Amino acid sequence: MPELDYFIVDVFTDRALAGNPLAVVMNNANLSTEQMQSIAREFNLSETTFVERRATAIEAAEGIRTRIFTTEEELPFAGHPTLGTASVLKIADPSLAIKNTIILAENVGPIPVAFDPKRPGTSNQVLFGEMTQRDPECGPELESARVAELIGLTLADLDPAHPPQIVSTGNGFAIVLLRSLDALSRLNVRQHEATDYLRPLNGRWFYVIAPEAESFRARMQFYGGEDPATGSAAGCAISYLVARRIVPFGQRIHVRQGVEMGRPSDLFLRANLDTDKVTNVRVGGSTVLVATGRLQLP
């Protein structure tokens, strides 16, 4: 029976039992895609990652191979699995502990995660990292009235100056800007209809944001549930906000997510603007190690 080491971390938080949980499995048994999908269902978290170590020279050139699974499917890219997996590697592998940047080779391509050892609160069990996502691809703007209907709100709840839009930095999301936190509290996405509406437009889910004092709050409902923190969607959100000059380019902004479901998460976002093109999209946050164990498989 092969024994596979695994780690449970909470991502986008500096304390256990908050943020977005993630299982990271060290795949040293050449698992099939079907086996990885079954293990992801066993953990039953929003995502589980599988790390496949390769020769040092290959990893130096291409990154550390990482595959990401939800309970339903494999994803080309996702934010909290990227940040959490890089943090686990830095914690668990002495050869990587001294590195300030770890590159993961995901299905979408290489994704670097830079760690800040000087950030307050950082320790061997809590790390602050910042991933650089792909430059955004901006898709079509969406009809506000139809979007409002699909997310259980009214047209008056949406910001009239900035219509919803599909944006992708590896996964396509429909970014929806609301007027108020009250509207955000009433979010109720009609999942089946929303999926039928978004998939032909290369969007997966709605990422809904609202201004909050000097920051933003966000929610993302999917698979009939809700995500405590969505790093890939956050990259799309900062791209949307910077492209529309809603927030200054280069300035780090704070987004809170997961508050309504009792898993508060803190995401820190920034992006550059080169003429009219958004570049250097970065999403950061802390990761805390919660548990370790071994999988025993037949």
Pick left, alpha or beta for residue 58 (phi over 0 → left; psi -120 to 50 → alpha; otherwise beta).
alpha
**Cα–Cα distance for residue pair 235/237, rounded to 1 Å:** 5
Look at residue 54 and give its three-state secondary structure.
Answer: coil
3-state SS, 95-129, equals HHHCCCEEEEEECCEEEEEEECCCCCCCCCCEEEE
How many distinct helices (H) and strands (E) make up the chain?
8, 18
Strand partners, 9: 22, 289
Look at residue 260 and give its three-state secondary structure.
Answer: coil
Tokens of 154: 């009214």
Helix (H) or strand (E) holding 67: strand 64-69
Helix (H) or strand (E) holding 159: none
Tokens of 256: 């809170």
Pick left, alpha or beta for residue 90 (phi over 0 → left; psi -120 to 50 → alpha; otherwise beta).
alpha
CA angle in degrees (0–180, nearest 5) for 287-64-44: 50
Which residue of the set 3, 34, 42, 47 is catalytic? 47
CB 229 within 8 A of CB 83: no
* Closest of 175, 140, 130 to residue 280, by C-alpha: 130
Task: Tell me, yes or no, if 47 is annotated catalytic.
Answer: yes
Residues acting as catalytic residues: 47
